[in-house]
Amino acid sequence: MMDYRRFKSQLLVVVSFLVVAFTGCEKKGPNEQIFTGTALGTTYQLKFFHPEELNLAAGLDSIFGVINNSMSTYQEDSDISKINLGSTGIKVDENFKEVFRYSEKIYKESDGYFDPTVGNLVNAYGFGPDKNLDSLSSSEIDSILQYVGFNKLELTLDNTIEKQLPGVYIDFNAIAKGYTVDVIARYLNSRNVEDYLIELGGELVAKGINQGRQQPWVVAIDNPLQTEGNRTLQATLNLKNRAMATSGNYRKFRIDSVTGERFVHTINPLSGKPEKSNLLSVSVLAENCALADGYATAFMAMGFEKSKEMLNNLEDVDVYFIYTEADEDVNVYTSQGFKDALNFD
């Protein structure tokens, strides 16, 4: 499984956004409003159209505060931190429950490759591009694996979390940003906003159209082999009434000295061992951003062939895979739904 915290890269750039360096709202044209800021350890941008100037700052701050209080592993007094430290009577909120259920769904669909309990294993390896991934013995791996497995958790009827073992550690970072985008979208819907594009840490939800251009919202995927300071785009697409998430290791891949194959390291939560993955980047379209976010992480962990197999069993999910094979250049696999959204101009 991926180390979600270190290797989830922001491969996606919102082409139609004006990037500004301060938090706030800037009105750019008729009915057009832009909000930017920082939250959840990353940046966010909202662009929307509404006949009235809306002050969303307090509402957005409230959303980020509630999400952090529920699921931030970096906040010592959050519900998830208390649960990880052993508290058993914490009643989790609706946000936690919804993310738990999405995680359980993807965990089962991916046969355990998506696993928010893999953190103990990742930490033990000290996972990173320059780390020695042969540093754990079989007995050490086995001792850690007893705490890995989302099936070792239960969301009870009284809204508490039960663990089979106290040492099970939960980290929703691979799905929580996408879920937060969905919550922001609900908030905009409640304010009667019909046309918007939301981006948080590379995760997106689009509704309606870009009224300023009278066309769909246009977003792009970075070239995974671009060099530092020389940004190039892999593809652009129209995004309407759908969510998109991108996950990748494009700055963390290595090259096999014998075969020349590009690959990235992931940790298999089933075996507890590091494995090579030939997927450099995954972009996912789905009905909501929590699912898109979670599926993107799962696919990166599974590699190209397993991901294609899983995709056959999913509905309303489309992908853009950038992958490599031995002695070959970078390849692209595009599902039909994603292909239909691409711009070929």
Q: How far apart are CA 5 and CA 3, in angstroms?
A: 6
Q: Which two tokens stand for residue 146?
A: 């007893």
Q: Residue with structure tokens 């309303």?
A: 316
The reply to whether 318 sits in an annotated binding site is no
The reply to whether 301 sits in an annotated binding site is no
Whether residue 260 contacts residue 326, with contact meaning beta carbons closer than 8 Å, is answered with yes
Q: Which two tokens stand for residue 30?
A: 């008729």
DSSP string over 5-23: HHH----EE-TTPPP-SSS
Whether residue 36 contacts residue 20, with contact meaning beta carbons closer than 8 Å, is answered with yes
The reply to whether 324 sits in an annotated binding site is no
DSSP string over 294-335: HHHHHHHHH-HHHHHHHHTT-SS-EEEEEE--TTS--EEEE-
Q: CA quadruple 269, 246, 252, 234: dihedral positive or negative?
A: positive
Q: How far apart are CA 240 and CA 254, in angstroms?
A: 36
Identify the three-state secondary structure at position 266.
Answer: strand
Q: How far apart are CA 233 and CA 226, in angstroms?
A: 9
**Binding-site positions:** 174, 293, 297
Annotated binding site for Mg(2+): 174, 293, 297
